[in-house]
Structure 1
C-alpha cells in the first residue's frame, strides 16, 4: 500500500484551518450576543448591531456544518 503523504498533509491543513475559522466565527457570534445583552441590561438603547452580528455568525457556522454533512452523506448528492 502506498500513501500520498502530500495529499494527507493538505487535507489535515485545510481541516485545521476550517476548524479554527469556524471556532473564531462562533466566538464572534457569542461576543455580539454578549454585547447586545450587556447594552440591554445597562438600560441603554439597543441598536441591534450585536444581535445582527451574532445572527450572521451563527448562520455562517450552521452553513459550514450543513455543507460538511452534505459532503459526508452520499444520499444528498
Structure 2
C-alpha cells in the first residue's frame, strides 16, 4: 500500500482552512449582533451591524449546508 502524502497534506490544509474560515465568519456574525445589541441599548441605531451579523451567520450556515451536500452521496 502506498500513501500519496502530498494529497493527504492538501486535504489536511484545506480542512483546516475551511474550518477556521467557517468559525471566523460565525464569530464575526455573533460579534456584530452583540455590538448591535449594545449599540441599541445605548440609544443609537444599529441597523448595519445587525444586517452584517445576520449575513455572516447566513453565510456560515450556507457553507455548512454545502459541506453536508458534498459529503452525503444521496444528494448528488
Alignment length (residue pairs): 76
Aligned to 1:9: 9
Report what 2:55 is aligned to. 56
TM-score by length of 2: 0.94
User: Which residue does the alignment assign to 1:18?
Assistant: 18
Q: Match for residue 39 of structure 1?
A: 39
- CA distance in 1: counterparts of 2:16 and 2:46, whole angstroms: 35
Q: Quick one: distance in 2 between partners of 1:49 and 1:31?
A: 13
* Unmatched runs of 5 consecutive residues or more in structure 2: none
1:70 aligns with 2:69: yes
Per-residue deviation, residues 29-71 of structure 1 (Å, max 9, x unmatched) = 0111011101111122x24111111111011101110011001
Task: Provide runs of 4+ in structure 1 moved above 2 Å.
Answer: none
Q: Distance in 1 between matches of 2:73 and 2:29?
A: 31
Please tell me whether the aligned partners of residues 29 and 55 of structure 2 are also in contact (alpha carbons under 8 angstroms). yes
- Which structure 1 residue ranges, 5 or more long, are not aligned? none
